[in-house]
A and B are shown apart, each in its own frame.
Chain A
Amino acid sequence: MNNRNYNIFFHTHTVSGIVISVVLYVIFFAGSFSFFKEDIASWEKGEPTSASQTIQLNFDQALKTLDSTYDLQGRNISFSQPQNKYSTGTSLEASKDSLASEKAKESKYVVLNNTTYKTSTYEESYNLGEFIYRLHFLAQVPYPVGYYLSGFIALFFLFAIVTGVLLHWKKIISSFYVFRPKEKLKTWWTDAHTSLGMLGLPFQFVYAVTGAFFMIKLVIVAPSVQLLYQGDQNKLYKELEYTGTDYPYEYKALTKSFSINEMVAATKKNWDDFNITRVEIQNYGDANMHVVVKGETEYDKKFTGAGEMVYKVATGEVVSKKNPLTQTTYLDSVKNILYRIHFGDYGGYGLKIISFVLGILSCFVIISGVMIWLVARDKKSMPAKKRRFNEAVVRIYLAICLSMFPVTALTFTVAKMYYPLGRDHTYSVYFISWLLLSIFFILKKNNRFTNQFCLISGSILGFLIPIANGLKTGNWFWISYNNNQFQPFFVDILWIILSTITLYASFKLKNHKEKKMN
């Protein structure tokens, strides 16, 4: 590689990296915790929910209850799986029947309890897991700004990854093994950045690409719709099999009685290790009512195995059938894999923990990159004004990034003590404490202090989390362990481990500093 290319890669890597760094840190930090979204929700609620891949619901009973409250005549209804066995996301579309009651013409999304059939709105079932998950694609920033911002950050993250690899290409193997902690600070940051960056490279590449796809797929969908499908997006979604056949409403009452449970059971029986993940009902109560039962094979049997059966209710016949074992297309695979490799939900807790660690590691790579940027410019030859500016940038960056740790720990404790905290209060606790802490650090003008303070306060607050849980619910982690309530136990233990590590790190840093002074 000639010098020119090397310097271009170097410069573009630096500029793109420094521009996206803070937001990318927020995305990775919140994203790492999002692997445990369901565990956090269950921990907060104090209810263990064993993860279930299949919908465990008495559909007939549920529909009867829903019908009395919401009037289902002529609606399209879908039940989908929100990953645990106690509730099911239920969407009720507005009735297609023009003569339907006012109630039936209102579309609804509710979370349905699988045993009591009580419905709650999305706001009512909002929880800490959901908050952190949504923070990782900046959903709290008004739509569409947050979504697009996170999407473009992912895209430029991919750019930073590619230029970073090209930059190190010649020495990529040797520098992976290099770590010189006793050298000057700049070398320390550089070595950490390159070897940890290299370690997380495949992981980060996957998240950059899939993250960009999730958030800014519109930049791909829009031209496809305009140029290939004459502006008709329904055609695109149909061709990509995101939507199925749309059965028209016939304005004739359905005379036959039916049982959705039987159709679901019949579908499930077709194939071994087949889980029902989605049930869609079209034209409820109409002669042309159809039921689509969708599911997937277990991941360890077949990674992509999407199957479905479509029933026409009036005749009871199977209109179409897709075998998950033999009829898996390239389309199914790509659609499935793009999500699976981002969510990391196909390999149990082992995979989630590894993903969490790699996510936090990426946060460290980002911070070390910012530190290199600062240290490399902290020279006598630089004009004083520029140095002051760089110093201020890094101070603000570190204040925002590092304070996320104590703020997150604080919000866990508060969410437990004042359960249910609700969305607005979660926002207040998280964002106000984050803002205040950041301002405090920015005014304090001491990066070492910021770091120490965040590590220590984070670990103290982190230790308070299992204590808060124990005091509030009496469900101390050893009790939840004995009662096989894995999720509450797991979140408590996760915080104990995290807090121990950060406390240890802060003592190490302190000793190091004292030694240097003596």
Chain B
Amino acid sequence: MPANPKYLTQSKWQRFAKITAAIVGGYLVSISFHLALASWFNRANIIITMAFSGFILWVALMVIAFLAKNGWKIWLIYLALSCLFSGILYLGQTYNPIAQ
């Protein structure tokens, strides 16, 4: 018994939105989240942690994207989160600049 199609996304655009949100959006959120942390806390430790947690978080976000009801909405959420984390990263870079 393959999965019951009743519960699966039928619209092509919705499917496209979910797949891209999972792979691209998930990546953006995972990376910006870690970089935001790295800009405020122990940089080297967070980057090396990202070597594994970066991929795990990315995959978790992929799963969440597929569970979403609306693919565009989840894209919007992922983009908003990425922007938020990028903002924190920007502030972190300004307040804790790397010695040249």
Contacts and interface: CB of A to CB of B under 8 A. Distances in A.
Interface string B11-54: 00000000000000001000100110011000111011111101
B67 interface: yes
A240 B31 CA distance: 17
Given A7-B3, A159-B63, A230-B98, A240 B38 contact: no
A176 B54 CA distance: 30
Contact of B60 (A3, A162, A240): A162
B59 A155 contact: yes
A159 B8 contact: no
Contacts of A12: 63, 66
A467 interface: no
A158 B66 contact: no
Contact of A209 (B6, B52, B62, B66): B52
Contacts of A3: 4, 7
Contacts of B56: 158, 209
Nearest to B39: A228
Contacts of A223: 31, 35
Given A5-B67, A209-B52, A228-B43, A220 B7 contact: no
Given A158-B59, A212-B55, A224 B35 contact: yes
A159 B62 contact: yes
Contacts of A230: 98
Main DSSP-derived SS at the A contact region: helix
Contacts of A162: 59-60, 63
Given A209-B56, A239-B44, A334 B51 contact: yes
A209 B49 CA distance: 12
B72 to A, nearest CB: 17
Given A7-B3, A10-B3, A210 B52 contact: yes
B24 to A, nearest CB: 11
B47 A376 contact: no
B44 A331 contact: yes
Contact of A166 (B47, B63, B89): B63
B30 to A, nearest CB: 9
Interface residues of B, number: 35
A383 to B, nearest CB: 14
A7 B8 contact: yes
Interface in A2-20: 3-12, 14
A437 B34 CA distance: 47
B20 to A, nearest CB: 15
B93 interface: yes
A227 interface: yes
A220 B54 contact: yes
**Which of B27, B31, B59: most chain A CB closer than 10 A?**
B59
B59 A159 contact: yes
A392 to B, nearest CB: 18
A470 B4 CA distance: 58
Given A162-B60, A212-B55, A227-B35, A14 B66 contact: no
A8 B66 contact: yes
Contacts of A414: none
Contacts of A196: none
A155 B56 CA distance: 9
A282 B91 CA distance: 39
Contacts of A210: 52
A166 B63 CA distance: 10
Interface of B: 1-4, 6-8, 27, 31, 34-35, 38-39, 43-45, 47-52, 54-56, 58-60, 62-63, 66-67, 89, 93, 98
14 contacts: A5-B67, A7-B4, A10-B3, A11-B8, A158-B59, A162-B63, A166-B63, A227-B89, A228-B39, A228-B47, A228-B93, A240-B44, A331-B45, A338-B52
Interface of A: 3-12, 14, 155, 158-159, 162-163, 166, 209-210, 212-213, 217, 219-220, 223-224, 227-230, 235-236, 239-241, 330-331, 334-335, 338, 376-377
Given A7-B7, A163-B63, 6 more contacts: A4-B7, A9-B63, A158-B55, A159-B62, A224-B35, A228-B47
